[in-house]
Amino acid sequence: MKVEIEDAKCVASGQCVLVAPEVFDQRDDDGMVVLLTDTPGPDLQDAVRESAMVCPAVAIRLVER
């Protein structure tokens, strides 16, 4: 799995961080998403999928390998 973020779509809701804090973070100044790893291990992939589903801006794209 590869994770891609569309920065222009992010609305800084933080839902991705709540679900998968090992993969996503937020910038201190504006709350926009920060991708900590674009290739999460198998143990994190379910949480990353859930993060993509709960993102209100649909800013997370997953490329399954």
User: Mind listing the pLDDT tens digit for each residue in 15-57?
Assistant: 999 999 999 999 999 999 999 999 999 999 999 999 999 999 9
When pLDDT is cut at 50, 70 and 90, the band that residue 65 belongs to is confident
Structure tokens at 44: 């994190």
Domain boundaries, the chain: 2-63
2-63 is a CATH 3.30.70.20 domain: yes
For strands 24-26 and 33-35, give the pairing.
antiparallel
Where does residue 63 rank: exposed (0-12), middle (13-18), buried (19+ CB within 10 A)? exposed
**Is the separation of the CB atoms in 47 and 19 below 8 Å?**
yes
